[in-house]
Amino acid sequence: MIKARALSKRFGKLLAVDDVSLEIHKGEALGLLGPNGAGKTTTISMLCGALVPDEGEVMLGEESDPTRAEVRRKIGVAPQGLALYEELTGEENLRTFGALYGLAGGHLTSRTEHALEFAGLSDRRKDRVKTYSGGMKRRLNLACALVHEPSVLICDEPTVGIDPQSRNHIFDCIEALRSQGTTLLYTTHYMEEAQRLCDRVAIMDHGKIMALDTVDALIDRYGGKSVVRAQLAGALPADLDLEAEVSGDTIRIDTDAPFEAVARLGRKDVAITSLRIDRPDLERVFLQLTGRSLRDS
Amino acid sequence: MRAITAIATKDVRMLMRDKMALFWVFAFPLMFALFFGSLFGGGDDLPGSVTIAVVDEDGSQLSQAFMEQLDSNDAIVVPRIELPEGETGKGAFETPTLEAAREGVQKGRHIAYLRIPQGFGDNPFAIFGAGGDSGEDNVSLEVGIDPRRKAEAGMLQGVVIQALFSSLQSQFLDTELMQGEIEEMRAQIAAAPDLDDGQKSALDQFMGSLDTFLLDFEPGSSEDGAAVGLDMSQMLNVVEVARERGNQPRSAFEISFPQALVWGLMSVAMAFAITMVRERTSGTLLRLQMAPISTAQLLAGKALACFTASMGTMTLLMSVAVIALGVRFDSFGLFLLAMVCTALCFTGITMLVSVMGKTESAVSGAAWGMMMPFAMVGGGMIPLIAMPGWLAALSDFSPFKWAILAVEGGLWRGFSLAEMTTPCLVLIAIGVVAFTTGAFIFNRTKS
Ligand SMILES: Nc1ncnc2c1ncn2[C@@H]1O[C@H](COP(=O)(O)OP(=O)(O)OP(=O)(O)O)[C@@H](O)[C@H]1O
Ligand SMILES: [Mg+2]
Considering chain B, what percentage of its residues have pLDDT values greater than 90? 33
Q: Identify the residue whose C-alpha is closest to ligand 1 atom 7.
A: A11
- As a whole number, the mean pLDDT across chain A is 89
Quick one: pLDDT band at residue B128, thresholds 50, 70, 90?
low
Q: By three-state DSSP, how is residue A283 classified?
A: helix
Q: Residue A87 contacts by C-beta under 8 Å, 6 or more apart in sequence?
A: A128, A129, A130, B13, B14, B17, B18
B229 pLDDT higher than 50: no
Residue of B nearest to A147 (CA): B291
3-state SS track over chain B: CHHHHHHHHHHHHHHHHCHHHHHHHHHHHHHHHHHHHHHCCHHHHCCCCEEEEEEECCCCHHHHHHHHHHHHCCCEECCECCCCCCCCCCCCECCCCHHHHHHHHHHCCCCEEEEECCCCCCCHHHHHHCCCCCCCCCCCEEEEECCCCHHHHHHHHHHHHHHHHHHHHHHHHCHHHHHHHHHHHHHHHHHCCCCCHHHHHHHHHHHHHHHHHHHHCCCCCCCCHHHHCCCHHHCEEEEECCCCCCCCCCCCHHHHHHHHHHHHHHHHHHHHHHHHHHHHHCCHHHHHHHCCCCHHHHHHHHHHHHHHHHHHHHHHHHHHHHHHHCCCCCCHHHHHHHHHHHHHHHHHHHHHHHCCCCCHHHHHHHHHHHHHHHHHHHHHCCCHHHCCHHHHHHHCCCHHHHHHHHHHHHHCCCCCHHHHHHHHHHHHHHHHHHHHHHHHHHHHCCC
ipTM of model over 0.90: no
Considering chain A, what percentage of its residues have pLDDT values greater than 90? 54
Instruction: Note the pLDDT of residue A297.
Output: 52
Residue of B nearest to A48 (CA): B290
Mean pLDDT of A94-106: 94
Higher pLDDT, B238 or B99: B99
A140 pLDDT higher than 90: yes
Residue of B nearest to A46 (CA): B290
C-alpha to C-alpha distances, A242 to A236, A251, A256, B295, nearest whole angstrom: 11, 11, 12, 68
Mean pLDDT of B193-215: 70
From B136, B62, B144, B135, select the one nearest B98 (Cα to Cα). Answer: B144
Quick one: pLDDT band at residue B137, thresholds 50, 70, 90?
low
Name which of A70, A96, A101 is nearest B10 (Cβ-Cβ): A96
Compute the count of residue pairs across chains A and B with CB atoms less than 8 Å apart.
Answer: 75
Instruction: Note the pLDDT of residue B313.
Output: 96
Taking any CB pair shorter than 8 Å as contact, residues of chain B touching chain A are: 2-3, 5-7, 9-10, 13-14, 17-18, 282-284, 286-294, 447
A171 CA → ligand 2 middle, Å? 19
From A202, A209, A207, A227, select the one nearest A282 (Cα to Cα). Answer: A202
B213 pLDDT higher than 50: yes
Nearest atom of ligand 1 to the alpha carbon of A80: 27
Parallel, antiparallel, or unpaired for β A226-232 and A200-205?
unpaired
B135 pLDDT higher than 60: no
Instruction: Note the pLDDT of residue B231.
Output: 52
pLDDT in tens, A8-53: 999 999 999 999 999 999 999 999 999 889 999 999 999 988 888 9
Handedness of CA A48, B435, B271, B8 (dihedral sign): negative
| Residues in the ligand 1 pocket, defined by CB under 6 Å | A 11, 14, 16, 34, 36-42, 80, 189
pTM: predicted TM-score of the whole model, two decimal places = 0.71
B45 pLDDT higher than 90: no
Instruction: For chain B, list the domains and their CATH numbers.
Output: 2-42+251-446 (no CATH), 47-173+219-240 (3.40.1710)
B243 pLDDT higher than 90: no
Chain-chain contact of A100 with B14 (C-beta, under 8 angstroms): no
Instruction: Note the pLDDT of residue B195.
Output: 74
The Cα of B20 is separated from the nearest Cα of chain A by a number of Å equal to: 13
Taking any CB pair shorter than 8 Å as contact, residues of chain A touching chain B are: 48-52, 69-73, 75, 77, 79, 81-88, 92, 95-97, 99-102, 104, 128, 144
From B444, B270, B429, select the one nearest B363 (Cα to Cα). Answer: B270
Mutation site for B-interface testing, chosen from A68, A85, A108 by largest number of B Cβ within 10 Å:
A85
